[in-house]
Structure 1
Amino acid sequence: MTAVTDLRFQIAPGGALRGRLRVPGDKSISHRSIMLSAIAEGESRIAGFLEGADALATLTAFRRMGVEIDGPDAGRVRVHGVGLRGLRAPDGPLDMGNSGTSMRLLAGLLAGQSFPVTLTGDASLSRRPMRRVTEPLALMGAHIGTTADGTAPLVIEPVPHLTGIDYRLTVPSAQVKSSLLLAGLYAGGETGVTEPAPTRDHTERMLTAFGYPVRRQGARACLNGGGRLRGCQLQIPADISSAAFFLAGASIAPGSDLLLEEVGINPTRVGVINILRGMGADIELLDRRTLGGEPVADIRVRTARLKGIRIPVDQVPLAIDEFPAIFIAAACAEGETILTGAEELRVKESDRIQVMADGLTRLGILAEPLPDGIRIVGGEFGSTAGGEPIDAHSDHRIAMSFAIAGLRASGSVTIRDCANVETSFPGFVELAAGVGLGIEASGA
């Protein structure tokens, strides 16, 4: 398929979301499944792998470091692990594309290798802050160079050894926590990370699935270096971050009744459900079960009358990737919604606070950016017909969020710079159209 320079989404106004669908596999878990399978001993088989650009960047990186990987084929991947010390130097820099997860987690995993390696990324990723991982890794003895601004490329030099540390995060971050724990696999002694608030625990769960002991003591996760991972079988649930667009969309579109199948409901990821329910959403979790060590459920969501709320601060880390979709729901709610404590949104693939505020304003909604959040007053959406399209700023979650806004718009909505949707949600246009969103994609 030929890449387009400006993929645009055109959304017809109105409609309802009805039927059932399964969104693609969880991106966070897909990344980790490749990383841990690669450094395990023996073969691992993965089902439900997300075949988006971000997760494929991780897969390609390990192929280039000498790991034999079969697939992906319809979400199935077979990884022939090389063990903790079996990776080989790649023949050049490893391009992480747009994937911050790949870069930050690999910084930790590669800090203890015996060869030098450079991690690069696209223009967006090259602007994102990396000192949050390189500085604590340096405390373990890692040698990782960055630009003067603390951004990529990351130049990782081999060191004689790493030493475990006990690190207390000042800002909740699953990526920093995971990076340090992965470095801890190669470090002498114990590596511990204490969080100020819970973040996604997929790394800890998956290490346990590979037979590597992880101890969790309240807000602290820790492990000892020098152990072994053993190949296993993994089933990746549907991604709640991808489901979030449909949870918000079905909540705001009159006449909606949608069933989302096999969605991961890890307790460190359900902020979007808790927040939408707090706004009055009709969300029901059905057939709760465990899939590949992760809790899952089928989620039924129906139209509801939403009200504005002050979003609880303790829910912010549990919904950090889902806020663009939540902002669309807030824009359709009665009254005012206020978010604070979410300064992390400023340094995602885009400044999601400012970019969402700009787009909502274009649609006629009062959206006031705050230093660490946003204030949104619910109202009626207009359209972009006859005017400039909404700019997604190459941010996949911005593009998909404004796509669902079309369900309540008074006229057609156009969103530009949507090509990066493929990084996290391949097939979004087709799946969304299949359940009732009037969406078309076109490119130049």
Structure 2
Amino acid sequence: MKFVVQPGGQLTGEHRVPGDKSMSHRAVMLGSLAEGTTEVTGFLEGEDALRTIAAFRQMGVAIDGPEAGSLTITGVGLHGLAAPQQALDLGNAGTGMRLFAGILAGQTFNSELIGDASLMQRPMGRVINPLSKMGARIESLSEGRPPLVISGGQDLQGIHYDLPIASAQVKSCVLLAGLYAKGRTSITEPAPTRDHTERMLGGFGYDVDSTNGVIGLDGGGRLVGTSIDIPADVSSAAFLLVGASIAPGSDVLLKHVGMNPTRVGVLNILTLMGADISVLNPREIGGEPVADLQVRYAPLHGIDIPEDEVPLAIDEFPALFIAAACASGTTILRGASELRVKESDRIAAMAEGLSTLGIKNEPTSDGIVIEGGQLGGGSVNTFHDHRIAMAFAVAGLRASAAIEVLDCDHVATSFPGFAELISSAGLKLDAHR
């Protein structure tokens, strides 16, 4: 599939984007490992999260749905999973693979994790290393690339692990393995990262403590089924936040958006750039903060992005790069080397696409310098990356000519219905096979 976006337009109306991808993964995982029934609403019916459901079904968990974002999970307990009869194929889900590695390291049976061509190139050494320190046995290709072959029956030991780079996926992997380890498992992170795993473990009745940047839990407990209402994904909302900010005449209300303090970097950065964003009706649903967001067009200016905001916006930078391209002056990003190992090398992919559209930029090892200017038209490669595709689609709002966005099938991994929703909001987008 490719998107062809005609230039101009504005975004208006009231919209609710799909449920949070990070929380959808974790809800299925913890619900499957819990004792009793878990009811989930707001579930993201995207390809990545559906792969997580399929994997647990392969291991004997009964999951009804999803139907209109609702799931019923009959948990089997921490030690109730059955050995899968074949490799667990996680598609494009890097989050899925890293979190599954932690869960499967503590099982009595052998397992194998595989994925699509993109996922099979992504580095997994960052989870293999701490899991090995805990006593796990995991085989991989060079540089930790999948497939991951995980040996069952290992006696895991709790460790303290200093994260070398801020990563919620690695933190979550180690904590999930810690459920099966003897003694205490704790982690120090160099900067705050999304804390959905810790919050959700607490929601399932498992005690997790966080003091002075150290997150820890004791092995040997149990998870108890619960009800979870998943808010709209701020990472998906980011494309409408940026689109409305850059297109004159825009005025959009985004409903029920997750406002977890470890995820609001995109709001903070856009506000620093001069965006007009109002947080309305803040509330708490199931332990997670939620609000409605109203965003209106405002002239943006380039900024030196504060490094402490980077981990809080790591998935939203493709959209933010489009905001920077439409801002007056220069935007500088540093401390974002994590972007090099996402579904694509997002720094390189965005730099190439921005250059194609006539925006001056200079990628660095851990960031990029973007000079605001006039977006032109052209054909942009997405490198099989859903967020790159959606970012360049939104760029059409300020382009001077049509933008052809190639290879957009992966958009469904995080934002099913993206083309329909954003077209209804006012983007002049046609999807072609």
Specify the alignment match of 2:334 in structure 1.
340
Specify the alignment match of 2:98 in structure 1.
104
Matches of 1:399 and 1:61, distance apart in 2 = 27
- Which one of the candidate residues 231, 235, 240 is aligned to 1:237? 231
Amino acid at match of 1:193: I
- Which one of the candidate residues 417, 425, 430 is aligned to 1:427? 417
Question: Quick check: 2:105–2:154 contact (8 Å CA) kept in 1?
Answer: no
Aligned residue runs from structure 1 range 75-90, under 5 A: 75-90=69-84
Partner SS state of residue 35, structure 1: helix
Aligned residue runs from structure 1 range 31-42, under 5 A: 31-42=25-36
Question: Quick check: 2:137–2:154 contact (8 Å CA) kept in 1?
Answer: no
| Residue 397, structure 1, aligned to residue 387, structure 2 | yes
Deviations 1:377-421 (A, max 9, x none): 00001111xxxx101111000000000000000111110011000
Question: Quick check: 2:393–2:405 contact (8 Å CA) kept in 1?
Answer: yes
Aligned residue runs from structure 1 range 40-119, under 5 A: 40-119=34-113
Partner SS state of residue 216, structure 1: strand
Specify the alignment match of 2:406 in structure 1.
416
Specify the alignment match of 1:329 in structure 2.
323
Amino acid at match of 1:360: L
Specify the alignment match of 2:14 in structure 1.
20
Matches of 1:421 and 1:291, distance apart in 2 = 27
Question: Quick check: 2:135–2:156 contact (8 Å CA) kept in 1?
Answer: yes
| Residue 150, structure 1, aligned to residue 140, structure 2 | no
Instruction: Measure how far apart 1:148 and its partner are.
Output: 1.9
The count of corresponding residues between Structure 1 and Structure 2 is: 433
Matches of 2:154 and 2:374, distance apart in 1 = 61
Aligned residue runs from structure 1 range 188-227, under 5 A: 188-227=182-221
Question: Quick check: 2:326–2:372 contact (8 Å CA) kept in 1?
Answer: yes
Matches of 1:292 and 1:217, distance apart in 2 = 22
Instruction: Measure how far apart 1:291 and its partner are.
Output: 1.4
- Which one of the candidate residues 281, 290, 309 is aligned to 1:296? 290
Partner SS state of residue 24, structure 2: helix
- Which one of the candidate residues 116, 131, 134 is aligned to 1:137? 131
Instruction: Measure how far apart 1:438 and its partner are.
Output: 0.6
Question: Quick check: 1:141–1:159 contact (8 Å CA) kept in 2?
Answer: no
Partner SS state of residue 38, structure 2: strand
Partner SS state of residue 144, structure 2: coil
Aligned residue runs from structure 1 range 349-388, under 5 A: 349-384=343-378
Amino acid at match of 2:62: E
- Which one of the candidate residues 240, 251, 258 is aligned to 2:245? 251
Deviations 1:119-162 (A, max 9, x none): 00111001111000001000000001110221100000013310
Matches of 1:16 and 1:41, distance apart in 2 = 48
Instruction: Measure how far apart 1:248 and its partner are.
Output: 0.5
Matches of 1:324 and 1:160, distance apart in 2 = 40
TM-score of the superposed pair, with normalisation by structure 1: 0.97
| Residue 439, structure 1, aligned to residue 429, structure 2 | yes
Deviations 1:219-247 (A, max 9, x none): 11100001010000000000000000011
Instruction: Please identify, of 143-152 and 280-289, the stretch whose mean Cα deviation from structure 2 is larger.
Output: 143-152
5+ residue gaps, structure 1, are 1-6
Matches of 2:298 and 2:138, distance apart in 1 = 50
Instruction: Measure how far apart 1:285 and its partner are.
Output: 0.4
Deviations 1:68-103 (A, max 9, x none): 000000000000000010000011000010000000
Matches of 1:218 and 1:233, distance apart in 2 = 30
TM-score of the superposed pair, with normalisation by structure 2: 1.00
RMSD of Structure 2 on Structure 1 (CA): 0.5
Matches of 2:212 and 2:268, distance apart in 1 = 22
Matches of 1:394 and 1:122, distance apart in 2 = 10
Question: Quick check: 2:279–2:291 contact (8 Å CA) kept in 1?
Answer: yes
Partner SS state of residue 318, structure 1: helix
Question: Quick check: 2:102–2:131 contact (8 Å CA) kept in 1?
Answer: yes
Specify the alignment match of 1:161 in structure 2.
155
Partner SS state of residue 243, structure 1: helix
Deviations 1:319-363 (A, max 9, x none): 000000000000000000000100110111111001101101111
Specify the alignment match of 1:3 in structure 2.
none
Partner SS state of residue 322, structure 1: helix
Partner SS state of residue 81, structure 1: strand
Question: Quick check: 1:143–1:159 contact (8 Å CA) kept in 2?
Answer: no
Matches of 1:85 and 1:161, distance apart in 2 = 14
Question: Quick check: 1:142–1:159 contact (8 Å CA) kept in 2?
Answer: no
- Which one of the candidate residues 301, 305, 309 is aligned to 1:315? 309
Following TM superposition, the consecutive aligned residue runs of length 4 or more in structure 1 with deviations greater than 3 angstroms are: none
Matches of 2:138 and 2:105, distance apart in 1 = 8
Matches of 1:309 and 1:289, distance apart in 2 = 31
Matches of 1:225 and 1:249, distance apart in 2 = 45
Matches of 2:413 and 2:308, distance apart in 1 = 28
Identity of matched residues, %:
61
Matches of 1:181 and 1:218, distance apart in 2 = 17
